Amino acid sequence: MLGRHRYLIIGILAFVFVYFFLWSSSNELPKPVTGVIQPVVSVDGNYNAQSPFIFIGGIPRSGTTLMRAMLDAHPDIRCGEETRVIPRILALRAQWKKSEREWKRLQEAGVGDSVINAAISSFIVQVIAGHGAPAPRLCNKDPFTLKSTVYLTELFPNSKFILMLRDGRATVHSIISRQVTITGFDLNDFRQCLTKWNAGISVMYDQCQSVGSDRCLMVHYEQLVLHPEKEMRKLLNFLDIPFNDSVLHHEALIGKDISLSKTERSTDQVIKPVNLDALTKWVGNIPEDVVADMANIAPMLKVLGYDPYANPPVYGKPDDIVIKKTQDVHQNGNEWYKKAVAVVIDPSRVDKPV
C-alpha cells in the first residue's frame, strides 16, 4: 500500500510540475501525453538516491557551463545540458515550505516530508539519468540548484557539489551584455543586478559552507581558467575520480562526447578552448557611481577573495598552455566564429572576431 501511495504522489507531482512548467512558458494548455514512461536505470540498474551524483551550480555566467563541459570530457562522467526543471521542482517545494498554511494542508493530507522527499528525489533521478547516456558518474548542471545544497544532501547522501565562484562584476557585466534573463534581475540597472548577485551567491555560499568541504567544493572561475590542470586535478580528487588529460581539451570533444544546447547562452563560448578573453571584459564598463560604492553594494566580493576596488584586478599569472590556447583563439578567430555560429539558435549574439 505504501508503495502504491508513493508512486501516486510521484505521478501527481510530476503532472503538476510539468503542467506548471509548460503553462509558465506558453498560453496554450499542454497537450495530453500518450504512452508509458519507463523508469530510467543505469546499465547495472543502480541509479537511485544513493548514487554519487555530482551537482554543479552558481550564479549564471560564473563558469558553470565551462565546468560541466570539462567534466563531460572525462570518459567516466556524463553531465549534459541544463535540464531547467530540477531548480523549478526545488523552488516549488520551497514555496510549499514557506507557506505555513499550505504546508499544514499537505501534512493534514498525509503528504509529509517523507512522501515529498521520496517523490522529488525520484523525479530528479529520472531527469538526470534520462536526459543523456549512462555513465559511471552522472552530473547535473542547473545553476540555481545550489541554492538547495543542504536539502539535496539529505535526498542524495552520496552526492557531491561544485559551487562555481566568479568576480561578481564580471558575472553581472556578462549577464547584462549578453542579455541573460534571470528572474529578479533588471538588465538596465547594473547596481540592482550586483545587489541580486550578492544576495544569490550569499545563499549558495552559506549552503556550501553548511554541508562542509567534504561535500561541497568551491571553484573560482578565474583560477580554473588560469590554471586548468591544477584546478581539475584538485576537483577530480575531491570527486574520487581518476584524473584524465581529456578534461583539459574539452573543445576537441564538442559534438562527439559533449553535447551542447543551442539555447544556452554560454554555448558559443565553451566550444572554444579555455582562454583568457572573458576575465576582464568588465573593466571600464561599469557606471562610475557603482564602482565608487562597490564594497557596499556587493560585500560578498571581499568574502570570496576579490578586491572590490581593483580595476583592473590581478587574478594571477596564466599557465603557458592557456596563453597558447588564447593565441590560437585570436589567430584563428574566423574559424572559431564559424564553429560558434553553427551551434547556437541565434547567431547574432555570437561575438565576431576582432
The rounded distance, in Å, linking the Cα atoms of 270 and 183 is: 24
Buried/exposed code over 202-216 (b: 16+ C-beta within 10 A; e: otherwise): eebbebbeebeeebb
Q: What are phi and psi of 24, to 5 degrees?
A: -75, -15
Q: Give the three cell numbers for residue 228.
A: 586548468
Q: Which residue's entry shows cell 500500500?
A: 1
The rounded distance, in Å, linking the Cα atoms of 291 and 268 is: 29
For the chain, the distance separating the N- and C-terminal CA atoms, rounded to the nearest angstrom, is 66
* Helix extents (H) in the chain: 2-25, 64-72, 85-98, 100-108, 113-130, 149-155, 168-177, 190-211, 221-226, 228-238, 267-270, 288-292, 294-297, 300-303, 320-331, 333-342
The rounded distance, in Å, linking the Cα atoms of 347 and 72 is: 24
Question: Which residue among the candidates 28, 81, 82, 231 is catalytic per the annotation?
Answer: 82
Q: What are phi and psi of 162, to 5 degrees?
A: -120, 115
The rounded distance, in Å, linking the Cα atoms of 352 and 354 is: 6
CA distance readout (Å), 32 to 14, 25, 35, 88, 131: 14, 16, 10, 21, 21
Does the annotation mark 82 as catalytic?
yes
The answer to whether the beta carbons of residues 220 and 228 sit under 8 Å apart is no
Q: Is the Cα dihedral 332, 263, 43, 136 positive or negative? A: positive
DSSP three-state, residue 112: coil
Residues forming the active site: 82
